[in-house]
């Protein structure tokens, strides 16, 4: 049986790469894609998602519009890295129109799909967790119907990429991240910011990836140019941890959801999100001393099989 996935995205460049991996994986069925504010305003997220589906010739996959702002905080976007439009500022004059969006809202769609396939659906979240937090508020049984949740977000070493101690997806909606980590009791796997930095892909592989002779490879190369230039800058290299190559953050969560053997080392620990700190708001906190007395623990990815990831990316652009 194919794995059944819902992708919850804020489609920037790395979300696009993750979507393309999912669509090229023979053991995966994408049941729907739900969109959220994040890397770029929601109106761009839905357009970008449709652009990715178009180049993959998969406009049959339903796309749903979710929340355009966080639960309580001010909006944040990542235009300096992903481009103002979230997809490298390389517009497509023939991009699909938003009339292709489903009429149903993202949260309602998530809940409905999970009810239709109880304990079969894997939810992969690569943006702020606003849609997920509202879904569990509307239907507290929603997490129990999921097979698993895979998240790109949070951090383990208090190294931020948006604030002093905060990773973008969690900082973009701290209350949502807190609610999800408190109330989702399904198996939960997290690819954190520092982990993704340590797993950066060498620039030589990027050259190999973009040299593939296909429309998909040309598309990925075009949308990635701006973020790759940023990633190569001296200022950015000071911010990242180890690595020194290209960090496709969101693909780690997706790859783990697609291939159970992708994660080679993980640790199980209770986590929460700091909501009040002046410098630490949005930071993920790991409870190694078990002072939180939480029954549900998450799996933090530590090491992965990067050769498998490279193969997934190559297959994604064939």
pLDDT at 241: 58
- Give me the pLDDT at residue 287, please: 98
How many domains in the chain?
1
Band of the pLDDT at 236, cuts 50, 70, 90?
low
Q: How many other CB atoms are there within 10 angstroms of residue 235's CB atom?
A: 7
Q: How many Å apart are CA 17 and CA 249, to the nearest integer?
A: 10
Q: Label residue 231 by pLDDT band (50, 70, 90).
A: confident
pLDDT digits 0-9 by tens, 29-60: 999 999 999 999 999 999 999 999 999 999 99
Lowest mean pLDDT among 53-67, 76-90, 159-173, 223-237: 223-237
Banded pLDDT at 242 (limits 50, 70, 90): low
> Which pLDDT score is estimated for 230?
85
Q: Is the pLDDT of residue 208 over 80?
A: yes
Percent of the chain clearing pLDDT 90 (strictly above): 89
Say what the pLDDT of residue 21 is: 98
- Rounded-to-integer distance, Cα 201 and Cα 195, Å: 12
Confidence at residue 245, expressed as pLDDT on a 0 to 100 scale: 83
Query: How does residue 79 score in pLDDT terms, banded at 50, 70 and 90?
Result: confident
**So what's the pLDDT on residue 264?**
98
Structure confidence at residue 74 (pLDDT): 86
Does 92 participate in catalysis according to the annotation? no
Kindly indicate the confidence band of residue 73, based on its pLDDT and cuts at 50, 70 and 90. Answer: confident
In terms of Cα–Cα distance, which of 311, 300, 30, 20 is closest to 187?
A: 300
Q: What pLDDT, on a 0 to 100 scale, did the predictor assign at position 174?
A: 98
pLDDT at 243 over 60: no
The single residue of 8, 10, 15, 139 carrying the catalytic annotation is: 10
What pLDDT, on the 0 to 100 scale, is given for residue 166?
94
Lowest mean pLDDT among 223-227, 251-255, 264-268: 223-227
Q: What's the mean pLDDT in 181-189?
A: 98
Average pLDDT of the chain, as a whole number: 95
pLDDT at residue 127 tops 80: yes
Range of the domain at 285: 3-316
**2 has a pLDDT exceeding 70:** yes
The string of pLDDT tens digits covering residues 272-284 is 999 999 999 999 9
pTM for this model (two decimals) = 0.96
- What average pLDDT does this structure show over 209-221? 97
pLDDT of residue 123: 99
We report the CATH number of the domain holding residue 104 as 3.90.245.10
Q: Are the C-beta atoms of 112 and 103 separated by less than 8 Å?
A: no
Q: Is residue 155's pLDDT more than 90?
A: yes
Two tokens at 137? Answer: 């508020």
């Amino acid at each position: 049986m194919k794995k059944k996935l819902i992708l919850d995205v804020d489609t920037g460049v790395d979300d696009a790469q993750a979507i393309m991996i999912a669509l090229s994986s023979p053991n995966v069925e994408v049941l729907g894609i739900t969109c959220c504010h994040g890397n770029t305003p929601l109106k761009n997220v839905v357009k970008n998602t449709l652009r990715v589906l178009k180049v993959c010739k998969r406009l049959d996959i339903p796309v749903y519009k979710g929340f355009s702002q966080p639960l309580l905080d001010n909006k944040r976007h990542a235009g300096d890295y992903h481009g103002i439009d979230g997809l490298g500022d390389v517009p497509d004059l023939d991009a699909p129109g938003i009339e292709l969006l489903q009429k149903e809202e993202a949260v309602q769609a998530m809940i409905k799909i999970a009810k239709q396939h109880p304990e079969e659906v894997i939810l992969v979240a690569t943006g702020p967790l606003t849609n997920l937090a509202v879904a569990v508020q509307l239907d507290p049984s929603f997490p129990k119907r999921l097979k698993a949740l895979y998240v790109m977000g949070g951090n383990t070493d208090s190294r931020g990429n948006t604030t002093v101690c905060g990773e973008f997806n969690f900082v973009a909606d701290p209350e949502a991240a807190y609610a999800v980590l408190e109330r989702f009791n399904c198996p939960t796997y997290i690819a954190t910011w520092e982990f993704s930095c340590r797993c950066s892909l060498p620039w030589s592989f990027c050259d190999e990836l973009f040299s593939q002779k296909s429309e998909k490879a040309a598309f990925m190369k075009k949308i990635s140019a701006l973020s790759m230039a940023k990633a190569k800058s001296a200022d950015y290299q000071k911010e990242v941890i180890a690595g020194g190559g290209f960090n496709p953050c969101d693909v780690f969560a997706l790859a783990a959801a697609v291939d159970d053997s992708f994660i080679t080392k993980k640790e199980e620990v209770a986590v929460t999100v700091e909501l009040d700190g002046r410098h630490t708001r949005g930071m993920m906190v790991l409870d190694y001393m078990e002072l939180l007395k939480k029954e549900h623990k998450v799996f933090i990815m530590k090491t992965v099989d990067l050769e498998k990831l490279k193969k997934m990316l190559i297959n994604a652009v064939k």
